Amino acid sequence: MNNKYFILIFLSIFLIFNFVSANTEDASFLKCDPKYCLKVKCGPKQTTCKKSACCTGCKPDCDTVKCAKVCAEDETPIIDDCSCCPSDCKKNCDNVECPLIKCAPGYISKKVGCCNTCVQNCSKLICDWPLCRDNAKPETKPGNCCPSCPN
């Protein structure tokens, strides 16, 4: 009985390994093909930009664009090639000294902002599913490992 399970597991691992290694040696399926891209012709004050790995687009004249998102002084804007405005801001951590930390059991080190901090290791928890009023759906809030009822 145990030998059958061992053979079954061994064959499964063997097949998976051979499938993965066979498909990663020839990664041509990951290359882009420009024939799937839309042909674009940019306007007079626009410039051609890289829209994706292989397709191009048109970047607008950024002098006339007002951005809704503006980064703080200690942040670096992340601007896509075909955009004038930041899609996100990254904290500038060049001059930040972070303390060395050691996390208690059940916690792991995670980068928050510029420095690491200890957060609960959610993969080690088994959570109860709460029963909420009015059949509300429980949700896991940021920073929590387990779901709770909405307010």
Q: What pLDDT tens digit does each residue of the chain (151 aa) get?
A: 455 555 555 545 544 444 433 333 444 444 677 777 888 888 888 888 887 777 888 888 888 888 887 888 888 888 888 888 888 888 888 888 999 999 998 889 998 888 999 988 888 788 999 999 998 999 998 878 899 998 7
Q: What is the pLDDT of residue 25?
A: 40
On whether the CB atoms of residues 48 and 39 are closer than 8 A, the answer is: no
The burial of 60, by beta-carbon neighbours within 10 Å (0-12 exposed, 13-18 middle, 19 or more buried), is given as middle
- Give the chain's count of helices (H) and strands (E): 1, 6
The burial of 28, by beta-carbon neighbours within 10 Å (0-12 exposed, 13-18 middle, 19 or more buried), is given as exposed
